[in-house]
Amino acid sequence: MNYRHAFHAGNHADVLKHVVLLALIDALKRKDTPFFVLDTHAGRGRYLFAAEESRKTAEADAGVMRLMTLPRLPEVIERYLRAVQADNPVGALLAYPGSPLLVAQAMREQDRLAACELQPEEAAALKALFAHDRRVQVVAGDGYAAIRALLPPKPGGHKIGRGLVLIDPPYEAQEAEYPAIVAALRETLARWPQAVCAVWYPIKQRRSLQPFFRKAAALPANSALLAELQVRPDDSPLRLNGSGMLLLNAPWQIDQAIAPALPALKQYLGEAGASTRLEWLKAPR
Ligand code: SAM
């Protein structure tokens, strides 16, 4: 069993990523017309905190678990915590829902999700999870290739005009992942110009992200927004000091929806020197 990614389930990076993801889904739900979500690097869909590896590192204790103990948080965070709780019907937090499960839980009968996962064991777990949900297509394979295969979206032969592409790679290739991401974003926008795109990125040393941001800002999207949480200063290149979400073609007023979350996440998940950022690389036209 491959628990590599269970180590971190529910850590500060997952919290930031999934708070923003659910805010995006809620924004898409403001209209009744269907939307389509492509999750290019979906993972297994559900992570068990009881798995020995996640207990050892207990990164969730400084993430989602800590937030669960707090009485009052901004609604955008409370909404995320309710979604995590909904995957834990007995009360105690035993499981952490990954991005495809959070999206499937939040979307409606008319909406569709395609979730791609390259690792065969993870993909098998994902397929089992959605075996009875006809709104969800699980693709065992490369998420970047899925952009070419599945966009523009036409699930079941029906064209869907609105939606989101979430790109959340493991960055095993480190710096080499960024050109692949930029190419994937370019391909997405060429096939589906109005797509909302969300890319999660790790922050080890933030200045090394500048070339990626410059290229992202030059893409033919209407806008580019960064939402970041750094839980400590970015002076160590070896640690995950924070993370961010790059949003292209972000839904109207998404910055206002996310804004209250960031200071609260900094206050409760941050160490000395923590910081946040909500910044337009390219303001909406
Ligand atoms: N998006 C998930 C979530 O938020 O719960 C977590 C995804 S995890 C960070 C990255 C996943 O991408 C891993 O499960 C890994 O096996 C998978 N992966 C790696 N390379 C891939 C590729 N080229 N295409 C699709 N999946 C890939």
Q: What pLDDT digit, counting tens, does each position of 177-189 carry?
A: 999 999 999 999 9
Atom of ligand 1 nearest to the CA of 5: 8
Q: Which alpha helices (DSSP H) does the chain contain, by range?
A: 12-28, 52-57, 64-68, 75-86, 99-106, 120-129, 143-150, 177-191, 210-217, 254-258, 261-269
Using DSSP's 3-state secondary structure scheme, residue 151 falls into coil
Is the pLDDT at 53 greater than 80, yes or no? no
pLDDT tier, 52 (very low <50, low <70, confident <90, very high otherwise): low
Task: Select the more confidently predicted residue: 34 or 235.
Answer: 34
Is the pLDDT at 41 greater than 80, yes or no? yes
Question: To the nearest whole number, what is the mean pLDDT of the chain?
Answer: 93
CA of 238 from ligand 1 middle (Å) equals: 21
Using N-to-C axis directions, what is the helix angle for 99-106 and 12-28, rounded to 10°? 30
Active site residue 168: yes
Residue 70 CA to residue 49 CA, distance in Å, equals: 20
Q: Using a 6 Å cutoff on CB, does residue 145 contact ligand 1? A: no
Number of domains the chain contains: 1
Q: Using a 6 Å cutoff on CB, does residue 87 contact ligand 1? A: no
pLDDT tier, 33 (very low <50, low <70, confident <90, very high otherwise): very high
CA-based angle 77:267:49, to the nearest 5?
Answer: 55
Residue-level pLDDT at 272: 93
pLDDT tier, 5 (very low <50, low <70, confident <90, very high otherwise): very low
Task: Select the more confidently predicted residue: 61 or 125.
Answer: 125
Q: Using a 6 Å cutoff on CB, does residue 46 contact ligand 1? A: no
89: CATH: 3.40.50.150
Catalytic residue among 168, 234, 235, 255: 168
Widest distance between CA atoms in the chain:
53
Alpha carbon distance, N-terminus to C-terminus of the chain: 47
pLDDT tens, 102-116?
A: 999 999 999 999 999
CA of 7 from ligand 1 middle (Å) equals: 14
Which structural domain, as residue segments, surrounds residue 261? 4-282
Q: Which residue puts its alpha carbon closest to atom 17 of ligand 1? A: 41
Is the pLDDT at 83 greater than 80, yes or no? yes
Q: Which of 45-49, 193-197, 274-278 has the lowest mean pLDDT?
A: 45-49
Q: Which residue puts its alpha carbon closest to atom 13 of ligand 1? A: 43
- Find all residues with CB under 8 Å of 199, minimum gap 6, and list them: 167, 168, 181, 185, 216, 245, 246
Q: Which residue puts its alpha carbon closest to atom 16 of ligand 1? A: 119
The pTM of the full predicted model, rounded to 2 decimals, is 0.96
pLDDT tens, 199-225?
A: 999 999 889 999 999 999 999 999 999
Q: Which residue puts its alpha carbon closest to atom 14 of ligand 1? A: 43
Residue-level pLDDT at 86: 96
- Smallest Cα–Cα separation from 194: which of 153, 236, 136, 149? 153
CA of 97 from ligand 1 middle (Å) equals: 14
